[in-house]
Structures are given as C-alpha cells and as structure tokens.
Structure 1
C-alpha cells in the first residue's frame, strides 16, 4: 500500500511542479519515476529501488491496469474532438494518420534494425510503438506556445486519433510475431486478427455511446450518480470489447468518446470536467509507475551515439517526411507545415503499450516462437520508447514557443466582443464598435431585445450564453472579451467566471452592483465604466443618448491629461491602431503603454 500511496503523491507533486515551471507534466513525471526506480539503485545497491512498479502489479494484473487506464485517457481525449473543428482540415489529419503510421512504422523499424542491429520483427514493433503522438503532451505544449488555430486543431486531432491507430499497428506486429510464422511473409492470421480488432472496437464503441446518450437524454441517471455511472459504462466498454477480441478496447472507448463529444448534451461539460480529473490521476500514477520499472542497466545501454542517431532520424527525418507528404496541396502555409513537422512528442500510450509488449515478449511465454536474442531485444523496447518520449518532450516542450515566434505562426488575439445581454446599453455600445469594424455579438433570451438588436443589424445569439450549447456554437476564435451587462448581477458574475475559462478571466468585464457601489474604497476589478454606474444608472444615462467622442493620443502623457479633463464624463475604450479594444476603466493610466495613433473613446459632458 505504501508503494501505491507514494507513487500517487509523487505523481501529483510532479503535476504541480510542471505547472509551476511551465513544462509538460510528462517530463517531471518520468524524471521522478526514474529517481525512485533505477536511479535509486545507485544509493541502495544494484537490484534495489525505493519503489519498483513490478512489485505493485505483476503478470496479467499489470496489463489490465495499464490497458484500462489508457482506455479511460483515450475516452476523455475522444470527448474533446469536435467534428466542426476539423471540417476544413479533415484531409490533412487523415493523411497524417495514414502516412504517419506507414512512414514511422517502416522508417523506425529500418532505422533500429540497421543502427542497433535488432531483428526485423522487434524493429518493426518499435516502429509501431513510436507511431503514436500523445494528447497528454500535445495539450500542454499547445497551451504554452499558443499556436494558431490551424496548427492547434491538426495537432490535437492527430494526437488523439493516432493513439489507438498506433496501438493497433503495434498489436498487428505483435500478432505477427507470436503467430509462429516468423520466417514467412506477412500472414493472413495476423491481418485477420487486426481487422477483427477494428470491427469489434467500432461496434462496441458505437453501442456504448448510444447507451450513454440514451441514459442522459432521457434523464435516467440522478445528477449525483451521473459521472460515476458513465465511468462504469466506459470501463465496461473497454472490458467487453477486450473480452470479445483482445486489444480492441482502446479503439472502442475512443470511438465512444468521439460520438458522445459531438452530441449536444447539456451534461457534456460536467462529464468532461470529471474525466479530466480522472485522467490527471491516471497519468500521474502510470508514468511514475512505468518509469520505476526500468533497470539501471537498461539506462546505461542507452548512453551511446547509436541511440542519438536513432532519435535524430525519428524526429528530424521521419516526421518531416510524414508532414510534407500529408500536407501536399493543403491550404497550410509553409511556416505552418514546418512547425507541425517540428512537433510530435510521444506520450502515455507509447509508454503503456511498450511496457505491455516488452513484458509479454521477454518473460519466456513465447519460448520456441521467438529466440532468446529477440526476447532480450524486446526487453529493451521500454527504455527505447522512454528515450523517445523524454527526448521529444524535452526538445519540443522547451523550444516550441521560440519556434512559434521565429516562424510567426502564433495565435492572433481576437478583438471581437461578446455582450451578455442585448439591452439598451449593450446595443448602444455594440453599434458603435460594430461601426468601427470590430466584431460584436449580443447574447440574450429576451425576444424584444433580440428583435431590437436585429433591427440595428447587430449579430445576435438567441439563447443563454451560460449553457454548453452556446459554448460549442459561439466561435471564440473571433471574440477576445465579454461584457456582462444584464440587470441580474448574479448572472453577470457567473458569466465572467464561466466565459473566463474560455477566454481568460482578465478578458471578462461586468457591471458593478448597487451594494458594491456603496462600499468604501476602490471599485472591484473588471467592472465596466470604472464602477461609476450599476445597471439602472447606466441605463438612465444611455437614454440621454450621450455622444461618443474619439480622440487620438500620441503618448502616455496625453492619455493621462485627457482622462483628467472635466469634459470626459465616462471613459469607455482605448482602441489601438490594429483595432484591439480595452475598457479604459480597467487600466492603470500611469502603467498603460500608449502607442502613437491609439484612440480614446469616451462620453463627454454636454
């Protein structure tokens, strides 16, 4: 029990450390696993470790725990895949998966065979293992570098979809090795097993998604049991699929997650949040546990020039070949293609599947089918895969942000504004901003407010911005700020928290409440109009039809002097030359960097 507890606590610490130093969590997870595992034998003596994963789960139990954990991770990944994101880039993702699987499997196998002298069978198994990318690694890298939408969408879809494909490719090679046909051509037996795996995974995954959808749609599960029962269904999906045909569970849960993720269920966001928590726990445990299983002798064997050559071929030859073939005739720019070619870190699925097959092929179970030399080579699959994981994460995690800047493929901050409410105040402000070419959208449930906004030719979202449907249908790539202007202060506050998760809490603003106005001291942060007006006050002021005044400023001094003039009744916005809008009420004038040509917008005293 102390070993399991220790691994969990260390895993959570690694996650916190990764957040603190802003690196993908996989890196500190593996380092801590190596420290308590093989590296600890330097202190304790050869053969001894602080914690050894092999002492926690042995035999089939290790396979079951790792396989089920990976299945839950892939289900959560499938939930995040939205078909609408991929419509214009579907052919590129499809090519990356097909071409990437073939080129990486064959190229990686050939490289390992000729560089390290491994047998063809184990070499191609290694090639299949490094096919997979890793959603658990891609996600943190993309959040850190903020690449543009084309790059982020392609890498996210590739990272999730190629995981079960890579795992299936590894299963295909594994089936071929253990079929006893090692000296013959690719056997029908192995290919048949592969096709059955795909078929079973598709059928069971679709049925599982249908069951989950039916239960949620008809509200047949109480709120407090919703996440628990769905977790149970996912576990059952994995187990049933694997029972019908071995190794089909990964595909089944991925398909199930994809189908559910593209429905319009109100409960989807709550399910996804719960599954993210489960995924963090599983990843924290798995990486530390699997890293601890490696022996010190295996680490020593990786310290040679041949391993470096193998790594360089995988990263700087095979990956660019895959990307430039897959993106031929696509709409991507050469800069975007170059960055995608640079990014392909390996993750938990590669480590988990390598661990499973390494143990299965090296424990003597297939004596007589594979040679003793091949069994020793199979034992090295895990450290070789971890070498690839650590190398790609370090190289890409630490340099990706700089590469994005050099290539100029970062995400452009959207300048559009969402208004929560289409009342008089929102319509008055939105019409002015809209006339300046700034994207706006007003969200409301009131038929009258919606009709009045449409009469002004303003874009409107009819419905509540606080439900999951709105979060899916509103394109947040256009809107970088939200102004909550309804008469309900609770809804305004809730909206700033909820939408803040999508666009950043510092980009959400609301009206001050009457109670907040009466408090002594400065106004709270992120309130509109500098806290001078609550809903009733600003509505009455807007009904006087105040005039918008625009004044260009050249520097900070002019900006400060303008705000101090008595004629400036209500400072509204600072609009930069590239049409980026910032509410003046939220600025510290002395700290704000004013660029030549910036425009101050305010209501003047008549």
Structure 2
C-alpha cells in the first residue's frame, strides 16, 4: 500500500513539476530534481526517524528497479535518436560541426582527467563521468535561448548544438560504459575485451537497424491500424532493447539509440506521428525518472562531494566549455562578445541524468570491489551537481550577460500566421514585399504544398501542439495573426501565444457570429476593423487579387478613404516609413506623417 502511494505521488508531482516549469519559464529539469531531492535525502532532516518521505527503492526493489530504469532510458534514447537527422549535420555551419567534434573529445578527455585528479576516481569511472557530461539537449537550451533572445547567429549555433549533441553524447556514453564494463574484470585480456566490446556494439546496431527497417515495412504496407501505430512503435523499441540484451549484455541502449537514428533518416510517412513519443511517453518517463532517481540519492553521497566536486564543476564551466567554443570558432566570423556568450552557455540536460542514473545503479550492483562500489555511487550525485549547477547558474545569468555583451537581437517583428490558406498566403505575399519574415502554420497538406511552392516558411503541425515552441523557430517572429476558418482555433491560438508575444501582438479574425451580433463589445485585437470574417476576406481576395495603397497621415484621411469607398473596403495594413507594416486592428494607431493605408475592396 505504501509503495502504491509513493508511486502515485511521483506521478502527481511529475505533472506539478512540468506545470511549474512552464509557468515560471525554466527547464523542467530544475523543479523535477529539486522535488526529488527535497522529498528524498533532504527530507531526512525533518522526519522523526530520519527516513525519506519518498524513496525510489521502496517502490522498485532490486532487479525490478534496474529493469524499469533500463527500459525507460532506452525509450528516452530512442526519442533522442529521432532528432538526429544526418542531413542536418551535413548542412550545418562549420562552427556547429566543430562543436560536435571538439565538444565530445575535449569533454571526455579533460572531464575524465579532472574527475580522476580532483576526486580520485579511477580512470574507468572518471572517463565515464566525462562521457556523461557531453550532452546538452534542447529541453534545457531552448528555454534559456527563448528567455535570453541572443542574436540569430548565436541562437542557431546553440540550438543546433543542443539538438544534435544529445543522441551523439548519449551514444558516446553508452560506448564508454560498455567498454569499461566489459574490461572490468581483472583477468580479462585486451583481445577478449575488444572482441566482447565489438560483439556488444554490433549486436545493438544490428538489432536496432533491423527493428527500424521492420517498422518502416509494416507502416508502408499498412499492416497495422492508425490507432495502434504509436503502441507498436513503443513495443518494437522495447523488443529491440530486450532482444539485444539477450544477445549481449548492455547492447540494449545501443539498439534503442541506433533504431531512433535509422527511423529518423529513412522515409516514413507517419514519422511525425511516431514523434508523439516526445510529447507523451518520454515526458512521463523523464519526469518520473528524475524524481525517482534523485530521491534515491543519500545525504552521505552528497556530503562526500565536498569542495573538490565544486572545483570539478568550475573546471567544466570555466575551462572545458570555453576551450571547446574557442577551438570551434577559430577562423569564423563570430566576434569576441559572441564567443564569450556561447562559451558561458552550455547547460547539461535530461539524458545525462537518466543515463548516469542507470550506469551508477548497474555499477554499484555488479562490482565486487568496495572502493569501486563507493566511487560508482559518486557518479550520480556528481552528474546531478553539474546538471543543476549549469542550468541554474547559466540559465539565471545568460540574459544579463547577453545584455552586457550587447549580443541580444532586436525586438522581433516577423509574423506567424495560423493557417496557410488563401487568405494567409495573400497577406504573407504582401508582407514579403516589405522584407517581413513570415511563417505559416497548418495541418492541411494542400495548403502546406501551395505555401511552400510560393516560397514561404511553413510549420507542418498543430499550432496549439505541446511542442510548437520547441519545433518552431521564433527567432525573428514576434506577432501572430490567427487566420484559420475556425473561430475556436483562432481564439485559442491568441491565448496560447499571448504569453510568448504579449497580448498587444496577437490578432485574430472576427467570427461570423460576432459580425451578426452588432451590440457585443469586440476585443481590441480583432483584425481589419472588425468588419470582416474569414469568408468575407476570402471572397474579396478572389475578386480583387491586389491591394490598393493611399496616403493616410491622420484620422481624417483614414475616414475620407472609407467615405470615398462608401465603407466597402477592408483596411489591412498601415505602412510606415522605414518600419515594418502595422496590422489594422480595432484600435487604430497614432497616425503620423508619411503613413499609408493598404486595403482591398470588399466582394460584391
């Protein structure tokens, strides 16, 4: 009964932590770890008998805990592999490629040496620690970038580094762990170690690749119904993980990661549906794992870290990261201000903690040497120290540092248009003439294809989806026009993006009902004078094709344009000298000299 209550508590707290992270705009990793530590080791100071309020070992005992963590990490690594598209690596800027080359090598080498000499870890565990802190991850980088708003060059480099290095770092960590685990036994000769290592890696790659190809085959041949696709994909990941473990111990993580990489790089029509792992299973597993595993840490382990661990953290932040960025930017166009900022921002993420937890658990269970077991127990709290330290320190100081270095980008003026329909394409085409960045979002393949044919950036997905802020590049986007045919979607889109862009920068079309009810008080953000709905606008565009532009330097001229056209026009944009077009909403702007009104006649 007690275990059931603790498990239910973890699930409830996981949701609470994710909500709290969204509310205060921090990476979810911070509240998740803090809750786990508060209810785990730190709670022993307040309970009568020094027991933990929450202890993962009370819920899952022995091999069951190891099995749950192993399979969960395998699924998380599969999802990480899904983000690694080879074409993204091939076409990225030289700095990103350098970060992906120098980053793992320097972090593994210097991180391992620092852990050995500062904390006295043996070389195997020290280099395992070095491998674990390679990864960064979009779940920690993107919230920091969104809050800091560095210039476009910095934003692109850090974003792509965070996305691509996640599965690469996890893969390296798995390789290092498997190699040291195979060579753990004193009497194992080098040839035997290398042979076992090769079999482990080969079996993981073979099973993972085969599972990915089988997934592609059953999806292409339509062998399973739509509602079972995600379930079958999950089942295949678990099967590949378990089967490769039967062939060679510790090959499961390699199989899961490689399966994700293959799936991401072969043509599967339902690929975006498979990515729902990101929104569903992975979020649940990551949240549960963080609270569960951080609650398992004992105060004794935390106390053992001491000042040497803080010094190691300083080496990671102040020596290793700056060295990586300096080498990666040699010969590039980045100035010293940008290099300093990128050298400071390198937070560690969720995959590092998940993989570290698994390895620490396995090492403590398999080693017979008391010294090795004691050192293995340090891996988890040490990794958590680096994760929490980098996220809190760098996340909290990134914005003032960007301001001090003057690397923040100007206030974004681009438009996100909800809908890629004919209305959106017409308005986007007009904005394009004034060099305004426009991104259209839609789920209709016909609308998407036509918008892409016209040369627009298009987001293929639900504008109200959970991961829209991660998947959309909002670097130069600061305003929203909700232009779908659904008034419910338009209303929700405005509410969804108001917190990101500000209420004064989100607009929507009037609904047909609002037009019919003349007595209601319409909100200020209703588009185009609050006299037109989706159908009216579409009919006007089909009939007239082009906009008219007249001088509009004051309210008198604005009213005269309406009067001259007998009120049968749709005012769309206010054009200003040397500034981007301004959307005409219910609240008219302060008119100035040189302004013009862009409008279209209503359909007859």
Instruction: Please indicate the TM-score interval, normalised by the length of the shorter structure.
Output: 0.7 to 0.9
CA distance in 1, matches of 2:534, 2:374: 74
TM-score, normalization by structure 2: 0.80
Q: Deviation string for 1:350-376 (max 9, x for gaps)?
A: 33333334344445x433xx4x33332
Asked if residue 534 in structure 1 is aligned to residue 533 in structure 2, the reply is: yes
Equivalence for 1:157: 164
Could you say which residue in structure 2 is the equivalent of 1:18? Answer: 21
Which residue number in structure 2 is paired with residue 238 of structure 1? 241
Report how far residue 43 of structure 1 moved: 2.0
Distance in structure 1 (CA, Å) of the matches to 2:223 and 2:6: 40
1:522-559 CA distances to partner (integer Å, 9 max, x unpaired)? Answer: 4467653233123554466564776312446xxxxx6x
Counterpart residue number, 2:514 = 516
Q: Which residue of 2 aligns with 1:583?
A: 583
Separation of aligned partners in 2, 1:150 and 1:502: 25
Moved more, 143-152 or 233-242: 143-152
Q: In structure 1, which of residues 356, 359, 375 is the aligned counterpart of residue 358 of structure 2?
A: 356
Structure 1 residue corresponding to 2:307, chosen from 295, 305, 318 = 305
Q: Alignment partner for residue 173 of structure 1, among 175, 180, 183? A: 180
SS in 2 for 1:548: strand
Q: Deviations over 1:311-354 (max 9, x none)?
A: 10011101121222234345655544433322232233333333
Q: Distance in 2 between matches of 1:67 and 1:484?
A: 44
Matches within 5 A, 1:166-565: 166-176=173-183, 178-180=184-186, 187-262=190-265, 265-302=268-305, 304-330=306-332, 334-363=336-365, 365-367=366-368, 370=369, 372-410=370-408, 413=412, 415=414, 429=427, 432-438=430-436, 459=454, 489-490=485-486, 511-519=509-517, 520-523=519-522, 527-535=526-534, 537-538=536-537, 543=543, 547-551=548-552
Rate the CA distance shift 1:516–1:340 in 2: closer, same or farther, 3 A. Answer: same
**Residue correspondences, number:** 575
1:530–1:269: structure 2 CA closer, same or farther, 3 Å change rule? farther
Tell me how far apart the structure 2 counterparts of residues 124 and 317 of structure 1 sit (CA, whole Å).
17
Query: Could you say if the C-alpha distance between residues 55 and 483 of structure 1 is closer, same or farther in structure 2, counting changes exceeding 3 Å?
Result: closer
Check conservation: 1:523, 1:530, Cα contact below 8 A: no
Which 10-residue stretch deviates more, 85-94 or 2-11?
Answer: 85-94
Alignment of 1:2-151 (within 5 A): 2-44=5-47, 48-89=51-92, 92-147=95-150, 148-151=155-158
- 1:518: Cα distance to partner? 0.4
SS in 1 for 2:91: coil
TM-score for the superposition, normalised by structure 1: 0.80
Secondary structure of 2:572 counterpart? strand
Change (3 A) 1:57 1:446: closer
Report the alpha carbon displacement of residue 446 of structure 1 after superposing the two structures with TM: 8.4
Cα distance between partner residues in 2 of 1:244 and 1:331: 49
The separation in 2 between residues aligned to 1:275 and 1:337, in whole angstroms, is: 31
Deviations 1:8-28 (A, max 9, x none): 222222222222222211111
What is the CA distance between 1:267 and its match in structure 2?
Answer: 3.1
Can you list the C-alpha shifts for 1:18-43, whole angstroms capped at 9, x where unaligned?
22222211111111111111111112
* Change over 3 Å in CA distance of 1:246–1:309 after alignment to 2: same
CA contact (8 A) 2:514 2:520 kept: no
Q: 1:565 to 1:238 in 2, by over 3 A?
A: farther
Q: Deviations over 1:393-417 (max 9, x none)?
A: 2112222233344445556636367
SS in 2 for 1:17: helix
Secondary structure in 1 matching 2:585: helix
Residues 419/28 of structure 1: CA separation in 2 closer, same or farther (3 Å cut) = closer
Alignment partners' CA distance in 2, 1:429 and 1:120 = 62
Equivalent-residue separation in structure 2 for 1:314 and 1:34 (angstroms) = 23
> Distance between the aligned counterparts of 1:462 and 1:50, measured in 2?
50
Q: Sort the Cα spacing of 1:498 and 1:158 in 2 relative to 1 into closer, same or farther, 3 A.
A: farther
Q: Which string of whole-angstrom CA distances, capped at 9 and with x for unpartnered residues, describes residues 84-124 of structure 1?
A: 54443265445434432332222123223322334334333
Q: CA deviation at 1:289?
A: 1.0
Give the equivalent residue in structure 2 for 1:572. 572
Offset at residue 582 of structure 1 (A): 3.6
- What are the ranges of 5 or more consecutive residues in structure 1 without an aligned counterpart? 553-557
Residues 462/181 of structure 1: CA separation in 2 closer, same or farther (3 Å cut): closer
CA deviations on 1:110-160 (whole Å, 9 max, x unpaired) are: 223322334334333332332333444334334443452233122221233
- Secondary structure of 2:302's counterpart equals helix
